[in-house]
Amino acid sequence: MLAVNEYLLDFLELVFVDERSPNSLEKLIGRKKRYIEFIQYRYKKTDLLLNTLEYKFIEDFYGYLIKQYELKDVSAGKYAQSIKEIIDRVVAKGWMSHNIFAIFKCTFKRKKKPHPKASEFHTLVNHQFKNSFYELLRDLYEFSCYTGFAYQEVYDSAPHHVNLQDDGELWIYIDRQKTGFPEKVPLLPGAIKLIQKYKTILWLLEETGFSQFRQIRHTMKG
């Protein structure tokens, strides 16, 4: 696990200088737990020496995720890709001569996901939830639809990102998560209504916890 920990430490340092996302770091830490579980399951050990690794490791790990956790090939492939990146770093440091997992490729068919119809969106917006947290999830999704922001960008938003223009319209300014480029988006009436509802732009996530939000959203998606 030394190689994994070194990779995570380097990633953490990049997070501190805003070169990587805290959300991505959280995912990588979760993947480390799966690595440990697999090693214990397959090898009856808590760790493996780098010089004992074989190509079969990544194949077995990929199959383990699909069979034991019923992950889709896309999700299992992301775990395998992380391992390849870790070993790339190991090779760069001179701890191994080459990446034995380099030729491993994940094949999958990307399925087209239909967008919700306008009638379905309005039904969701007008639905009265008994559970207040489900109402929060709906409002976050609704705000994302109005702005085009991803969940992480909604989470990163702050009051100073909203500006009143000379024409009297409200706009929100934010750096996009993937590109890092600034973008300004006009606030539609639905988004403004949500701001008025919560008095802020959904920074209420600080009260509920973004990790909890992600976990429940993942569960609801099935």
pLDDT value at 216 more than 50: no
User: Of the candidates 76, 92, 108, which is a domain's last residue?
Assistant: 92
Q: Report pLDDT digits (tens) over 124-174.
A: 989 999 888 888 888 888 888 888 887 777 777 777 777 777 777 888 887
Residue 97 located in a structural domain: no
- 107 versus 48: the higher-pLDDT residue is 48
Which pTM value belongs to this model? 0.57
Residues 187 and 148 reside in one and the same domain: yes
Residues 79 and 144 reside in one and the same domain: no
Strand partners, 170: 164
Residues 122 and 213 reside in one and the same domain: yes
pLDDT value at 219 more than 60: no
Residues 15 and 82 reside in one and the same domain: yes
Residues 87 and 172 reside in one and the same domain: no
Residue 98 located in a structural domain: no
Residue 63 located in a structural domain: yes
Provide the pLDDT confidence category of residue 208 given band limits of 50, 70 and 90: very low
> Rounded to an integer, what is the distance from CA 210 to the centroid of its chain?
11
* Mean pLDDT (whole number) for 199-217: 48
Q: 1 is written with which tokens?
A: 């696990």
- 190 versus 165: the higher-pLDDT residue is 190
Residue 200 belongs to domain spanning: 118-221
Residue 64 located in a structural domain: yes
Own/partner long-range contacts of 176-183 (Cβ < 8 Å, ≥24 apart): 177/21, 177/150, 177/152, 177/153
The percent of residues above 90 in pLDDT, for the chain, comes to 23
* Mean pLDDT (whole number) for 31-43: 91
Residue 72 located in a structural domain: yes
Provide the pLDDT confidence category of residue 200 given band limits of 50, 70 and 90: low
- Check: CB of residue 79 under 8 Å from CB of residue 30: no
- 2 versus 195: the higher-pLDDT residue is 2
pLDDT value at 11 more than 80: yes
Output the pLDDT for position 98. 92
- Check: CB of residue 14 under 8 Å from CB of residue 20: yes
* Mean pLDDT (whole number) for 111-116: 76
Give the chain's mean pLDDT: 81
Residues 151 and 211 reside in one and the same domain: yes
Domain count, the chain: 2
User: Of the candidates 92, 107, 142, which is a domain's last residue?
Assistant: 92
Report the C-alpha gap between 52 and 18 in whole angstroms. 36
- Check: CB of residue 82 under 8 Å from CB of residue 28: yes
Nearest alpha carbon to residue 1 among 43, 29, 32: 32
* Element of type H or E holding 172: strand 170-175
Residue 104 located in a structural domain: no
The percent of residues above 70 in pLDDT, for the chain, comes to 84
Nearest alpha carbon to residue 133 among 222, 220, 199: 220
Q: Report pLDDT digits (tens) over 49-102.
A: 888 999 999 999 999 999 988 888 888 888 999 999 999 999 999 999 999 999
Residues 82 and 33 reside in one and the same domain: yes
Residues 127 and 189 reside in one and the same domain: yes
Report the C-alpha gap between 38 and 64 in whole angstroms. 7
**195 CB-near residues (< 8 Å, 6+ apart):** 162, 187, 201
Provide the pLDDT confidence category of residue 105 given band limits of 50, 70 and 90: confident
